DNA sequence: GCGTTGATATTCATATTTGAATTGCCATAT
DNA sequence: ATATGGCAATTCAAATATGAATATCAACGC
């Protein structure tokens, strides 16, 4: 009779390519995996991996077994979701997956009241440019820029996050304030890589094409923001982030360069968990309360 | 992280209703299961069973988990089939499932040459009135009375097994030999239960209705055969079994009372296994060689 | 009533499994 | 050529899990 735990180990080896890597992932030692693999192979009477200096190389049988083991893992994840969903206590942890642009700063700042209200809950913010798989329990709640396509997920569109052109006061003092878009040709420009604009609603390239060339580029919104703050030039900056930066000046009559919707996503079963539900509702409320700030309309409100 | 082995144990408990029963099935001790269950519940932070004096009673969560665990087990079975299919060595064991009527005697007698030819293979004959599930690896090969309906099975119709009316010489000496079917009214009759005639090709009740009443009834073909051999009366007896019983006399000009087809069945993947393939082919050849004996035509051949 | 059966829990000596440290191997970079 | 780093295998002491024996309890049959 096969040892199911060995199959779990097998899958980790198959997916990480070496005993050492799999051992790190599973929090066991490499010798343990080596022995369990040997035992499994002994048990089934066939080789699953060829051991090479570079790691493990799967045999044909291993390749076929891998699919079934993966399938088993899906069921384990389903069980984990069930278990979490049945947990009615307000303690444990909640993992939130979101992109750097809001996770690293805005989200963390907002969580103060939640942490105070639920001292038993550990909040885990996973800043993650890849998309965490909620079905695989890589996160409990995700903030996404798009409606998720997977089944069994509950998703709610919350705020629209606008980006405007900003520059630092120091830059503008040195180079002058551009009056209209055509003046951009005379200025330094800070540009994001195309890859991080996949989910924007306005096509930013049209606007960006006005810029002569880039002084600074990055695929990190945080790096771009820092560049703007440091006076490297004019760049798109999230309105909600700019709210508390008195040193930044918004240009061109609050022109919206591009915008993205923010989706709040969780798993149907996970939402039965009291603590996840609490966080989901908290984030939903928090986002909706600040929808004006995300839209960048706080300037207007302050001016009136 | 969940221990997959615990899930295997959990499933066994769920399906057997008690720690003790599951422990017997899994070949571990009952205290071990008790502790592993406690550990699993501790791990997920919820109760899966209520322990009662009568055994285990599942909670709602346990009930839901059970489905996923079962699903995992299906994958494990698939892996086992894969492994067996990849085993090209002629050693190991082959389990044959078949009904008592042929398994207990005929099949065992036929296996002599096979055992001699393949000394490395352990032959395991599972006499089984229930239908073993080949997909779940309860057997490698089955002899069935009907075409299996499950997918992924390879099935081959082999011989037709005829049953005739037989009586022992001692009975006939005492009671006389009936000339025609109508004489049956004067004789003792040995009848099978209807339940074991499910898969016959001729409806035997028409023939049996000629009999006055039963002297002996059973749902075991072996018991019925023994009754005929012991001279209790006239009864249906498998022709192939009667072949080596000189004390039995066939009645009514070799009338066929009823007949069943014998299907040789295996799992598609299992047929890739050398040893199972060997047994499959061996049984197929053996059956076809003896098709005349199964049909009950050896008397005629002997007479010519 | 009273013993029997079959269930889970507990105890303790034992067998198994594990991890830290180490070795040895090969490829790559210096 | 010689280090370096990543890999699997080996060794051995320590932690861990296991099973046999036992205790305890409830239901059932006589």
Range in A124-133, A145-154, B159-168 with the lowest mean pLDDT: A124-133
- Mean residue pLDDT of chain A comes to 81
How far is Cα B41 from Cα B35, in angstroms, rounded to an integer?
A: 10
Domain B4-86 has CATH 1.10.10.10: yes
Going by the DSSP 8-state scheme, the letter that residue A233 receives in this structure is: -
Say if residue B207's pLDDT is above 70.
Answer: no
Pick from B44, B69, B83: CB nearest A83: B44
Token pair belonging to B107: 């099949």
How far is Cα B304 from Cα B300, in angstroms, rounded to an integer?
A: 6
Range in A203-217, A251-265, B107-121, B145-159 with the lowest mean pLDDT: A203-217
Contact B266, B154 (CB under 8 A): yes
Question: What pLDDT is attached to residue A300?
Answer: 46
Does this chain's domain B4-86 share its CATH topology with B92-159+261-290? no
- Return the residue in B12, B71, B76, B79 with the most chain A beta carbons within 10 A, the one to mutate for interface testing: B79
Say if residue B96's pLDDT is above 80.
Answer: yes
Domain A160-260 has CATH 3.40.190.290: yes
Angle at B269 between CA A61 and CA B286, to 5 degrees: 135
**pLDDT bucket at B303, cuts 50 / 70 / 90:** very low
Say if residue A302's pLDDT is above 50.
Answer: no
**pLDDT bucket at A201, cuts 50 / 70 / 90:** low
Q: What percent of chain A has pLDDT over 70?
A: 87
Question: What pLDDT is attached to residue A182?
Answer: 66
Q: For A66-100, what is each residue's pLDDT tens digit?
A: 999 999 999 999 999 898 888 878 878 888 888 87
Q: Please indicate whether residue A226 or residue B287 has the higher confidence score (pLDDT).
A: B287
- Mean residue pLDDT of chain B comes to 80
Q: What are the beta bridge partners of residue B166?
A: B235, B250
Say if residue A5's pLDDT is above 60.
Answer: yes
Question: What pLDDT is attached to residue B76?
Answer: 92
- The domain spans of chain A are 4-83, 92-158+262-290, 160-260
Question: What pLDDT is attached to residue A11?
Answer: 93
How far is Cα B21 from Cα B13, in angstroms, rounded to an integer?
A: 8
Say if residue A32's pLDDT is above 70.
Answer: yes
Range in A17-26, A95-104, A283-292 with the lowest mean pLDDT: A95-104
Is the Cβ pair A2, B44 closer than 8 Å?
no
Residues 33..52 of A with a Cβ closer than 8 Å to B: which?
44-46
What b/e string do you get for B145-168 counting C-beta neighbours within 10 Å, with b at 16 or more? beebeeeebebeebbebbbbbbbb
CATH of the domain spanning A92-158+262-290: 3.40.190.10
Is the Cβ pair A71, B76 closer than 8 Å?
no
Q: For B248-276, what is each residue's pLDDT tens digit?
A: 888 877 777 778 888 899 987 776 788 88
Say if residue B213's pLDDT is above 70.
Answer: no
The full 3-state SS of B183-224, as one line of letters, equals HHHHCCEEEECHHHHCCCCCCHHHHHCCCCCEEEEECCHHHH
- Return the residue in B3, B74, B83, B138 with the most chain A beta carbons within 10 A, the one to mutate for interface testing: B83
**pLDDT bucket at A301, cuts 50 / 70 / 90:** very low
Q: Report the Cα B33 to chain-centroid distance in Å.
A: 31
Contact B204, B154 (CB under 8 A): no
Kindly report the nearest CA distance between residue A9 and chain B, in angstroms. 10
Q: What is the pTM of this model?
A: 0.71
Q: Please indicate whether residue B57 or residue B108 has the higher confidence score (pLDDT).
A: B57
Question: What pLDDT is attached to residue A303?
Answer: 38
Average pLDDT over residues A160-182: 80
Q: Helices A19-26 & A4-16, crossing angle to 10 degrees?
A: 120
How far is Cα A32 from Cα A48, in angstroms, rounded to an integer?
A: 16
**pLDDT bucket at B199, cuts 50 / 70 / 90:** low
Say if residue A206's pLDDT is above 70.
Answer: no
Bases along strand C below 7 A from a protein CB? 6-11, 17-21, 24-27
Residues of A in contact with B26 (CB under 8 A): 1
How far is Cα B152 from Cα B84, in angstroms, rounded to an integer?
A: 15
**pLDDT bucket at B210, cuts 50 / 70 / 90:** low
Question: What pLDDT is attached to residue B302?
Answer: 39
Residues of B in contact with A69 (CB under 8 A): 75, 79
Average pLDDT over residues A13-29: 89
Average pLDDT over residues B187-195: 72
Average pLDDT over residues A222-244: 78
**pLDDT bucket at A6, cuts 50 / 70 / 90:** very high
In CATH terms, the fold of domain A4-83 is Arc Repressor Mutant, subunit A (1.10.10)
**pLDDT bucket at B67, cuts 50 / 70 / 90:** very high
The most confident of the ranges A157-161, A210-214, B91-95 is A157-161
Question: What pLDDT is attached to residue B202?
Answer: 62
Residue with token string 């992280």: B1
**pLDDT bucket at B138, cuts 50 / 70 / 90:** confident
Average pLDDT over residues B199-228: 66
What are the angstrom distances between the C-alpha of A223 and each of A101, A190, A236, A295, B85?
10, 10, 12, 22, 55
Q: Please indicate whether residue B77 or residue A54 has the higher confidence score (pLDDT).
A: B77
Question: What pLDDT is attached to residue B150?
Answer: 76
Residues of B in contact with A86 (CB under 8 A): 46, 60-61
Whole-number CA gyration radius for chain B: 25
The CATH homologous superfamily for domain B92-159+261-290 is Periplasmic binding protein-like II (3.40.190.10)
């Amino acid at each position: 009779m096969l040892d199911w735990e060995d199959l779990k180990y097998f899958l980790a080896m198959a997916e990480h390519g070496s005993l050492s890597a799999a051992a790190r992932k599973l929090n066991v030692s490499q010798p343990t995996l080596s022995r369990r693999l040997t035992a499994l192979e002994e048990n089934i009477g066939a080789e699953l991996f060829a051991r090479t200096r570079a790691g493990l190389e799967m045999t044909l049988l291993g390749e076929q077994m891998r699919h079934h083991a993966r399938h088993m893992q899906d069921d384990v994840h389903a069980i984990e979701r069930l278990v979490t969903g049945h947990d009615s206590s307000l303690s444990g942890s909640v993992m939130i997956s979101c992109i750097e642009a809001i996770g690293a700063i805005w989200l963390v700042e907002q969580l103060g009241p939640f942490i105070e209200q639920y001292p038993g809950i550990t909040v885990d913010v996973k800043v993650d440019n890849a998309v965490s798989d909620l079905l695989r329990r890589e996160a409990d709640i995700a903030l996404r820029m798009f409606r998720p396509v997977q089944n069994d997920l509950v998703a709610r569109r919350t705020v629209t996050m606008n980006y405007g052109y900003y520059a630092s006061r120091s830059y503008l003092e040195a180079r002058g304030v551009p009056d209209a878009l055509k003046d951009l040709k005379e200025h330094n420009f800070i540009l994001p890589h195309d890859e991080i604009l996949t989910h924007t609603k306005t096509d930013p390239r049209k606007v960006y094409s006005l810029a002569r060339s880039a002084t600074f580029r990055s695929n990190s919104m945080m790096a771009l923001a820092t560049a703007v703050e440091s006076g490297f030039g004019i760049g798109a900056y999230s309105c909600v982030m700019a709210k508390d930066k008195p040193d930044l000046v918004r240009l061109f009559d609050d022109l919206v360069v591009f915008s993205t919707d923010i989706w709040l996503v969780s798993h149907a079963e996970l939402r039965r968990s009291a603590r996840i539900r609490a966080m989901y509702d908290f984030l939903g409320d928090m986002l909706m309360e600040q929808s004006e700030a995300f839209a960048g309309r706080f300037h207007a409100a302050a001016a009136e």
